[in-house]
Amino acid sequence: MNYDRQQLLSEIVQPAQTKIVLLVMDGIGDIPKNGETPLQKANTPNFDKLAKDSDLGQTIPVLHGVTPGSGPGHLALFGYDPVKYQIGRGILEALGSNVDVEEKDIVARANFATVKNGIIVDRRAGRPSTEESGKVVQKLSSLIKEIDGVKITFYPGKEHRFVVKLTAEGLDDKITDADPQKEGKPILLTQPLTAEAKKTSEIVNKLMNQIADVLKDEERMNFALIRGFSKYPKLPQFPEVYKLKAAAIATYPMYRGIAKLVGMDVIETGSTIQEEMQTLKSVWGSYDFFYFHVKKTDSYGEDGDFDSKVHVIEEVDSVLPEIISLNPDVLAITGDHSTPAALKSHSWHPVPFMLWSKYTRKGLSKAFDEYECAKGTLGTFYAVDAMSIILAHALRLEKYGA
């Protein structure tokens, strides 16, 4: 059936007084180490208690066997077909960093990296503090302002991340990433994907060379990897499609950016899970959909730090009673993709999904982990269908057809 899922939902969705929380533990899925995944090893009495009253399942973010980026993973959870809506990482990072993006602009997400003898030895430059990287961004800003008539602007981000904006007439975002995505690989320059993008590709490659020259004396942040070249796309707006007043609570720019792109109100919050929890409480009366993002489960998975990923899961478990005390009508807990610590990267593995409401077929699950989710009542389903399941449990969908 080729019918647009989102269009169908927009036709049968109805307003209601119900409140929905979508808790996204980034990269939560994993594979066993010594017989246990981080979800299994973690002490999670609150997750496990909730699982006994919930429907469990597992999601496929894009297609079976396809490893998703965070953008496609989140778009799918919000009900946007990630194959139809292909969004560059740059626009998400830029919007989340409050960068103004206009018609003549191309934006990209950049990582400080460590390079030795032309080989990338650390894609994240040791994860410098936001303050440290901010100083290096200032250094770039002071020394690189324009290349061949194209204005270059740098914006600081979180830790090793920052945003690059190119401004000029005639720029085209159809170029390859200047990032091989793996350590131990040589520096990679961009290539144009169309004839119209040749100029943009040449400008970016000149920029890469200038960045390397400016940073050559830095110990760790001596290079930058640039990817996700993007112009500003137009997407259906989440509040209009689903008739939901939506709030996004996220600490990292990329996730704030994707929420802003689909029309959610992005709420200022602190950097810790407890600060995010306090933000949720402070805006509870003003919205009916809450996207609550936890980043560190993914960060520690990418670092290969199994034990720290366990710790973050336990920290989220500790605030779960506070979320439940707000009396949401629907609470969905999942991730945008899996990030196994053994792989130190995103993976294709299905993602655990738990949904609580008054209308679940409770009593069939014992805990919240990959294996209980694989046996759950929801089965294995595409993440793009998560919103229809959530809306149904919130009593926000009319009957379809006669």
For 99-120, what is each residue's pLDDT tens digit? 989 889 999 999 999 999 999 9
302 and 194: one domain? no
CATH code of 224's domain = 3.30.70
Percent of the chain with pLDDT over 70: 99
Tell me: pLDDT of 1 over 60.
no
9 and 125 co-located in one domain: no
Pull the structure tokens for residue 151. Answer: 């204005």
Helices (H), 97-177: 130-143
Q: Where is the domain boundary, 209, 230, 251?
A: 230
Is residue 336, in this structure, part of any structural domain at all?
yes
Helix orientation angle between 130-143 and 198-214, rounded to the nearest 10 degrees: 110
Tokens matching residue 243: 């008739």
pLDDT digits (tens, 9 = 90+) for 350-369: 999 999 999 999 888 999 99
Query: In the predicted model, is pLDDT for residue 306 greater than 50?
Result: yes
Tens-place pLDDT, residues 215-263? 999 999 999 999 999 998 889 999 999 999 999 999 998 899 899 999 9
> How do beta strands 330-334 and 20-25 pair?
parallel
Q: What is d(CA 9, CA 129) in angstroms, rounded to the nearest whole number? A: 43
CA 49/CA 98 separation, integer angstroms: 39
Does residue 170 come out as left (phi exceeding 0), alpha (psi in the -120 to 50 range) or beta? left
3-state SS track over 37-72 = CHHHHCCCHHHHHHHCCCEEEEEECCCCCCCCCHHH
**Of how many residues is the chain composed?**
402
List, for residues 19-34, the tens digit of each pLDDT value: 999 999 999 999 999 9
Residues 251 and 387 placed together within one structural domain of the fold: yes
Parent domain of 151: 92-230
Domain check: are 222 and 244 in the same one? no
Domains in the chain, number: 2
| Per-residue model confidence as pLDDT tens digits over 140-198 | 999 999 999 999 999 999 899 999 999 999 999 999 999 998 899 999 999 999 999 99
pLDDT in tens, 317-346: 999 999 999 999 999 999 999 999 999 999
**Residue 27 Cα to chain centre, angstroms:** 9
Ranges assigned E (strand) in 211-283: 223-230, 246-249, 265-266
**Whole-angstrom Cα distance, residue 292 to residue 259?**
11
Q: Is residue 168 a contact partner of residue 202, using CB atoms and an 8 Å limit?
A: no
**Domain membership flag for residue 399:** no
Give the CATH number for residue 240: 3.40.720.10
| pLDDT tier at 96, thresholds 50, 70, 90 | confident
Is residue 2 over pLDDT 80? no
Q: What pTM was estimated for this model as a whole? A: 0.81
Rounded distance between C-alpha atoms, residue 175 and residue 54, angstroms: 45
Q: Could you tell me if residue 77 is inside a domain? A: yes
How far, in Å, CA of 57 to CA of 351, rounded? 8
Q: How confident is the model at residue 3 (pLDDT cuts 50, 70, 90)?
A: low
